[in-house]
Amino acid sequence: MKGLSIGLAVLIAIVFVLSLLAGRVWLSPAEIFSGHDALAALIVTDIRLPRSVLALLVGGALGLSGAVLQGLTRNPLAEPGLLGVSTGAALGAVTAIYFSITTISGVAGPLLGMAGALGACALTFGLGQGGGTIALVLAGAAVSSLTAAGIALALNFAPNPYAAYEIMNWLLGSLADKSWTQVWLILPFIVIGGAALATTGRALDALSLGEAQAQSLGIDLTRLRIAAIAGTALAVGAATSVTGAIGFIGLVAPHLARPFVGHQPSRILLPATLGGALLLLIADIAAREIHLGPELKLGVFTSLVGTPFFFWLVVRLKRTSP
Amino acid sequence: MSVLVADRIGVARGNRAILQDVSLTAGPGDFIAVIGPNGAGKSTLLSALAGLIVPATGDVSLDGIALNRIARRELARKRAYLPQNPVCEWPLSTERLVALGLTAHLPALGPLPPAFDGAIAEALADHDLMDRKDQPVTTLSGGEFSRAMLARALVARPDIVIVDEPVTGLDPVHAFSAMARLAAWTAKGKTVIASLHDLTLAARYAGRILALKQGRVAGEGTLTAGLIRNVFGVEAEVRGAGANVKVDFLLP
C-alpha cells in the first residue's frame, strides 16, 4: 500500500507542475521561476494555481467518499451521487442562481450548495435509518430523484434565458475561472469531512463480513453511517457547490486502487483519495487542451470518459455473479 | 473466564412472540447445543445471547452485567459470534479475513500491528489453512470458507463463542472436524453455544442440549427419544452413549 500511495503522490507532483504550464498560453518552467515575467507569474498564481489546487481538493474528496460509500454499502457501483449528496448540492446552488442570490454575494452559491447537500443527506439518513444498507441506498435514490426534479423545475421556470444558461453551465461542471476565494471557502469543509471519512476504515473492514458480524466485532453501525454520510455531505457538498456536478471520479478511483491493496476497504481509502485527485487533475488538463470551439466542460469530459468504465463494471459484474 | 446468563428473556417482532421466557446459564467449559425445528427461535436466541438484539423482557448478562450496559468493544473482546451462512463481501485473502476477528483489539487507525501475527498464524494453522492464507476467500471451497470463518471467530481467543449452525452445508468429515474444534475449545475452559440441526452431532459433542419449540424451552439436558418426540413431533431412536451416540428418525 505504501508503495502505491508514494507512487501516486509522485505522479501528482509531476502532473501538478504540468498543470501550471498547460493552458491557452503554454509557459516554460523558466518563465515561471525566473520572476522577470510579471504576466506569467500572474497567470500562474492567480489562475492556474488555484485551479490546480481545487482539482486536487475536489478529486480527493470525490475519491475518498467514493471509497467509503462503496465500503459502507458493499456495492461496487456506489458513489457520492448515490446518497443524493451531489444532486442535493446542485439543487442548493441552482436555487441560489435562480433567485439571483449569487448577485448579492459570490459565496451564496457554495453556501447554499453545502446546505443542499446536508439537507439531502439528512433526508436520506432519516428515511433510510434502521432499515439497513439497502434501505439507505433506496432512500438515496429517492432523494436524488426529488432533488433532480427540483433542478428541472428551476430550469423550467428560469426567470430569463441568462439564468437558464448559467444553471446549465454550472450543472455541466467546471474548474474554469475559479480563484483562491473558492479554494479557501471549501478547504475547511473538505478537511473536516475528509477527516470524518478517514476514521471509518476499521469499521468498513469489519463490515466486509456483513452487518451482524460487524456489530458483533464491536462496530457501532449508527456511528459509522453518520461519519460516512456527514463526511460525504461536507466534503462532496462543498466540492460540488463550487465546481458543479463532476461524475465518475468517485466511482472510478476506488476501483483502480482496489486490486492493488487486496480489496481491503480500509487500505483503499488513501490510494483512492490520491487517485481521485490525480484523475481530476489529468482530466482538467485534458479539458483545457482539447479545443473544439467552446470550452469543453470538465464534468462532461469525466462523464464521457467515465461511462465506458461503468459499462465495463456492469458487464464484469454480470460475468462474475452466478 | 466469563459466565453468560439469560434470565427469562422474551423477544417479539410486531405482535408475534419469537422467544418467551427462555433462561440459560453458560459457564466455562460448557458446550451447549440449541436444537429445535425451523422457526423455533434458535437464531433469535443466539442473537440475543450475543447482545445483537436487546430482549423486550428479561435480560442477558455477562458476569452479572447486562449486555446492553457493556461497551461494544469490550463485549466484542469477550465473545465471538458467527451468524448462519456467514459471508465476506470482498475477495479478501484468507489471512486478512481471519485478522478481522481481532477488530476489537486493534487501534483505531493504521496497519495491523505485528504483535498479532502470531495469533493469526496460529489460528490459520489450527484450522488447516496455512496453504490457503494468501488465497482470496471467494475462491475457497465451502468447507475451507467455513473453517476460515471459524478461525476468524476464535483468533482473538474469546471466552464465549456463539455460532449459528456452524456445520450446515458441510460434508460429514468437515462437520465432524468443525465440531471437534469447538469441543476442543471448551476443553480449554471456554464456552461454546451452537445451534445445530444434526442431532447426532449435538448429542456427541455438546455437553448440554437446549431444545426450543415455538419460542419456548421444551427441554434441557441430554438428548432422549422423548425430547425429540416432544420438540419435533417425530419418533426417533437414540442409541449408544458418549462419543458413539447415534440418533435415528423412525419413519411412520
Strand positions, DSSP E, chain A:
none
Per the CB < 8 A criterion, the answer to whether B80 and B154 are in contact is yes
What is the rounded CA–CA span in Å between residue A322 and residue B2? 43
For position A64, what pLDDT does the model report? Answer: 96
What is the interface pTM, i.e. ipTM, of the complex? 0.91
With beta carbons under 8 A apart, name residues in chain A contacting B73.
218
What CATH code is carried by the domain that includes residue A207? 1.10.3470.10
Residue of B128, B167, B135, B131 whose CA lies nearest to B151: B128
Distance of CA A100 to the CA centre of its chain: 25
Residue of A308, A164, A189, A191 whose CA lies nearest to A242: A189
Task: Please state whether beta strands B246-249 and B236-239 pair in parallel, antiparallel, or not at all (unpaired).
Answer: antiparallel
What is the rounded CA–CA span in Å between residue A15 and residue A154? 38
B110, with CB counted inside 10 A (0-12, 13-18, 19+), is exposed
Q: Are the beta carbons of A202 and B86 separated by less than 8 Å? A: no
Q: Are the beta carbons of A209 and B100 separated by less than 8 Å? A: yes
B116, with CB counted inside 10 A (0-12, 13-18, 19+), is middle
- What is residue A46's DSSP assignment? I
Burial state string for B201-212 with b = 16 or more CB within 10 A and e = fewer than 16: bbbbbbebbbbb
- For the stretch B43-73, pLDDT in tens is 999 999 999 999 999 999 999 999 999 999 9
Residue type, B2: S
The DSSP H or E segment spanning B218 is: strand B216-221
- For the stretch A26-46, pLDDT in tens is 777 777 666 667 777 778 888
For position A185, what pLDDT does the model report? Answer: 86
For position A41, what pLDDT does the model report? Answer: 78
The DSSP H or E segment spanning B65 is: strand B65-66
Structural domain boundaries enclosing A240: 2-320
Structural domain boundaries enclosing B164: 4-249
Place of cell 501516486: A8
For position A111, what pLDDT does the model report? Answer: 78
- For the stretch A252-263, pLDDT in tens is 999 989 989 999
Q: Are the beta carbons of B103 and A219 separated by less than 8 Å? A: yes
Residue type, A19: S
For position A163, what pLDDT does the model report? Answer: 81
Tell whether A74 is within 8 A of chain B (Cβ): yes
Residues 6 or more apart from B5 whose CB is under 8 A from it?
Answer: B24, B25, B26, B60, B61, B62, B64
- What is residue B24's DSSP assignment? E
What is the rounded CA–CA span in Å between residue B12 and residue B19? 7
The model's pTM = 0.89
Average pLDDT over chain A, rounded to whole? 86
Which residues of chain A are under the pLDDT cut of 70? 1, 32-36, 106-107, 130-133, 320-322
Burial state string for B135-156 with b = 16 or more CB within 10 A and e = fewer than 16: bbbeebeebbbbbbbbbbbbbb
Nearest to A213 among B83, B91, B108 (CB): B83
For position B118, what pLDDT does the model report? Answer: 94
Nearest-CA distance from A79 to chain B in Å?
Answer: 17
pLDDT > 70: percent of chain B: 100
Nearest-CA distance from A219 to chain B in Å?
Answer: 7
Total domains in chain A come to 1
Using DSSP's 3-state secondary structure scheme, residue A59 falls into helix
What CATH code is carried by the domain that includes residue B115? 3.40.50.300
For position A1, what pLDDT does the model report? Answer: 58
Angle at B160 between CA B157 and CA B166, to 5 degrees: 90
Nearest to A202 among B52, B97, B108 (CB): B108
Residue of B90, B77, B103 whose CA lies nearest to B159: B77
- For the stretch B133-190, pLDDT in tens is 999 999 999 889 999 999 999 999 999 999 999 998 788 888 998 999 999 999 999 9
Tell whether A205 is within 8 A of chain B (Cβ): yes
With beta carbons under 8 A apart, name residues in chain B contacting A208.
88-90, 92, 97, 100
Count contacts between A and B (CB, < 8 Å). 77
pLDDT > 90: percent of chain A: 34
User: Is the confidence at residue B81, as pLDDT, over 90?
Assistant: yes
Nearest-CA distance from B72 to chain A in Å?
Answer: 5
Tell whether A222 is within 8 A of chain B (Cβ): no
For position A35, what pLDDT does the model report? Answer: 66
For residue A100, report the phi and psi dihedrals to the nearest 5 degrees.
Answer: 55, 25
Q: What is the dihedral of CA B199, B200, B204, B207, to 10 degrees?
A: 10
Residue of A27, A61, A53 whose CA lies nearest to A235: A61
Per the CB < 8 A criterion, the answer to whether A62 and A236 are in contact is yes
